[in-house]
């Protein structure tokens, strides 16, 4: 049990959400786990009843009440939770727009700076507490943009722009990775999302712009 729970933590854990979208996804995960546990217990209970001395069995109780109606109730509840979570994940309102460009085997990000676009390698800067729309593209093969603690994942497909809303509830550093096998360097195709207070975000981009100009 302890070993199994150890896999639920870490910088890439979806069960340690740090934003509203990731929180909704974690909620769906727990609901699916509860539903799967309920169905598993039902099946194990029916298997256990198969052992021992023969006894009269009421067909309506085991086949209809448990086998059909109980399973249908669990699956209906899971469907309702899934629809509810999916509706809450739909993008609404305005958001800061940044670009994430994937290539073998790295990430290049473009931010709206005070004096034009600011590009960074391997680090995405976002304002904390604000929705951010990430425009995801690819230069070569299919990759996937994923920051587990902030949102779900989305594919980066050559010749196509995909969009994903992320949001960090508080300032911090959040690990991101490519979640689609893309070649020999896939395992090291990581990046970092740095969420800063909104008043510091523009200053950080200005500093990045200044460092680019000096280079």
Mean pLDDT for the stretch of residues 62-66? 75
Residues 207 and 131 both lie in one domain: yes
Q: Which of 57-61, 93-97, 188-192 has the lowest mean pLDDT?
A: 57-61
- Residue 93 CB: number of other CB atoms within 10 A? 6
Looking at the domain assignment, is residue 6 inside a domain?
Answer: no
Claim to verify: residue 51 and residue 139 sit in the same structural domain:
no
Which pLDDT score is estimated for 125? 94
Q: Are residues 28 and 111 in the same domain?
A: no
Q: Greater confidence, 213 or 130? A: 130
Beta carbons within 8 Å of 180's beta carbon, 6+ residues apart: 142, 143, 144, 155, 156, 186
pLDDT, tens digit, 9 for 90 and up, residues 89-118: 888 888 999 999 999 999 999 998 777 788
CATH of the domain at 168: 2.60.40.420
pLDDT given at position 1: 44
Q: The domain containing residue 83 runs over which residues?
A: 12-88
Task: Tell me, yes or no, whether 84 and 102 share the same domain.
Answer: no
């Amino acid at each position: 049990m302890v070993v199994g729970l150890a896999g639920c933590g870490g910088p890439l854990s979806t069960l340690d959400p740090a934003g509203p979208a990731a929180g909704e996804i974690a909620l769906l995960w727990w609901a699916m786990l509860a539903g799967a546990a309920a169905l598993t217990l039902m099946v194990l209970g029916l298997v256990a009843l198969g052992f021992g001395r023969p006894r009269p069995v009421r067909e309506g109780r085991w086949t209809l009440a448990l086998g059909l109606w109980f399973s249908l109730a669990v699956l209906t509840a899971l469907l309702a939770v899934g629809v509810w979570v999916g509706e809450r994940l739909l993008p609404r309102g305005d958001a800061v727009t940044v670009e994430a460009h994937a290539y073998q085997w790295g990430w290049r990000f473009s931010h709206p700076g005070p004096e034009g676009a600011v590009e960074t390698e391997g680090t995405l800067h976002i304002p904390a507490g604000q929705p951010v729309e990430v425009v995801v593209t690819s230069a070569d093969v299919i990759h996937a943009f994923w920051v587990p603690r902030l949102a779900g994942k989305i594919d980066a497909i050559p010749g196509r722009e995909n969009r994903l809303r992320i949001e960090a509830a508080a300032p911090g550093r959040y690990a991101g990775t490519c979640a689609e096998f893309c070649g020999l360097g896939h395992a090291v195709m990581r990046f970092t999302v740095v969420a800063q207070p909104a008043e510091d975000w523009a200053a950080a981009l200005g500093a990045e712009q200044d460092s680019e100009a000096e280079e």
